[in-house]
Amino acid sequence: MSMTNNQTGRLPPQSLLQQRYIIIEQIGRGGMGAVYAATDTRIAHRRVAIKEMSQARFSPQELAEATTRFQQEAAMLGALSHPNLPRIYDAFSEQGRSYLVMDLIEGKTLHQLLKEAHGQPLAVVQVLLYARQLCDVLSYLHQRTPPIIFRDIKPTNIMIVPTGQIYLIDFGIARFFKEGQQQDTILLGSPGYAPPEQHGIAQTSPRSDIYGLGATLHHCLTGRDPSRASDSFSFPPIRRFNPQVPSELDKLIQRMVAHDDQERPANALEVQQALMQISQQAAEHTSQFQANSLQFAPTQYIPPQPGPLSGQSSASNAPTNPIVPQQPSLSISTSTASASPALTKAMPTSHSPWSSGFLALFLLLSLLIVGGCIYTFNFICASAHIVEAGLSILLVLSIIGAGVIAKSRLTRGIMFISGLAALATGYAFTMLAQPDLAVIKFTDPSALCTVNSLPDEQFLTLLSTVGLGIVGLASLYWLTRSLSQASWIILCILFGGAILCTLARVFIPDEVAGHILLLIALIMLIQGNLISAKLEQSQRKGLLLALKP
């Protein structure tokens, strides 16, 4: 079917370009033109994206400038080959319009992900994954001769596919760096992401892209859109919005968005190296990367087929520029079915702690604790104090385990306080259990304290209650960590329930009911600390895998 529609951005399905590309549908449209999904009939019906430059509502001067930028994008991308850049297969003009044929990269833009987050920051692990890839592609561009300055790093120009791989798209205002030039002749860029020098103060340089990257990372980690801020050059400290962000990462991004370009990191490689150092500490400040929460269409891997990449058309007004692809094409189908097994393996795992093995072990341990309590009451000694003392020892061990797994000083400090309180509680219960231990046949009487040497019973009861309360309050720290909703609710029930049981113990005069409440509080705290330790371990494991080169 021949193309008969002369309206820019209005190519109907089945329109034919260059006697080769069949339009499937329009997948994007903006002020500079439209983007279509199409089929390349010459190469195994490969799916491609075709970018069409709009000519409507342009003055002759604006049209000439837009055409120049469009041709520059084609020439620039045609000479590049990088995993985080789309490949250009063809460039041509037809019926007075310019077209660019490139990889069909159908996923989600970073802007879409931020919009779906409803103003909330993205997980630090997720942002670090994107940041490292962006540094890699910027380093590649800046090391070209002459260096290529992208000049428009922002969330809408970053595409993300299901594997977590990013693509830098839209080279419409990219330019070559000209040594010695005082300032750019054309002032372009996006408010909030473009550095001061891009507004006519000086010539843009590789450090200008560092600024755009810093502004983008600031948006991702705070949820604050700089383009909507009253001062588009103001970037408050990130930890003011998101305390989960490591202070080193916050300081790095503040350097990246410095007004003076000389105060920014010298190049993208320096930023990438700093991110690698920070990544080893980030597990203490982030949640795991929930890659499965990104609802993408399934990916299909289509290897390139031999054959010509472009050809001359009698309808073209300009010669076709063939570009040989350097690597296989990655295209994404429009099906809404679940991802293929190959894609599932490629995606980063979230390392949820709620595996079948951990659940089985957790339930078994819970049964052993409850069963041990029942056995002690019925066959050893009907003493609640003995059982409470034994559970206190298990509580101390669970806190020590969580403290060992944790790496941050803050977490270990809180675990240390919690452990001291648990030891005090265990001491109180052990002293209160001395009279009951005396009646057990296998207990050495000489190892027991005499009744006269025991501390005051009222003091010991108060010490056990206060100690248990401190453990419960300190354990609430785990709720401030970045957790999934299910994990947060479970820990909230366990730690909150333990605190409520401890408080209720104070106001309930019945001794039997009081002991039951203390036993429930101890069991809840033990379970909560075990789950917290497992969550901490899973977060660290997820981070190390996600950041693995």
Judged on CB neighbours under 10 Å (0-12, 13-18, 19+), 389 is buried
Which helix (H) or strand (E) segment holds residue 22: the answer is strand 21-30
**CA pair distance 450, 434, nearest whole angstrom:** 8
Half-sphere CA count of 25, side-chain side, radius 13 A: 4
Can you spell out the DSSP letters for 384-399? HHHHHHHHHHHHHHHH
178 is in an annotated binding site: no
Residue pair 6/55 in contact by the 8 Å Cβ criterion: no
Cα-flanking dihedrals φ and ψ of residue 53, to 5°?
Answer: -85, 125
Q: How far is CA 426 from CA 211, 370, 386, 389, in A?
A: 55, 18, 10, 5
Judged on CB neighbours under 10 Å (0-12, 13-18, 19+), 332 is buried
Q: Token pair for residue 149? A: 């300055």
Q: Token pair for residue 121? A: 């920051």
Residue pair 87/254 in contact by the 8 Å Cβ criterion: no
- Show Cβ contacts of residue 346 under 8 Å, excluding neighbours closer than 6 positions: 162, 163
- Show Cβ contacts of residue 304 under 8 Å, excluding neighbours closer than 6 positions: 43, 46, 325, 328, 329
**CA pair distance 417, 435, nearest whole angstrom:** 30
Q: Token pair for residue 178? A: 């000209």
Q: Token pair for residue 376? A: 């002690």
| Alpha carbon distance, N-terminus to C-terminus of the chain | 47
Instruction: List the binding residues.
Output: 51
Instruction: Give the residue ranges of the annotated binding site for ATP.
Output: 51
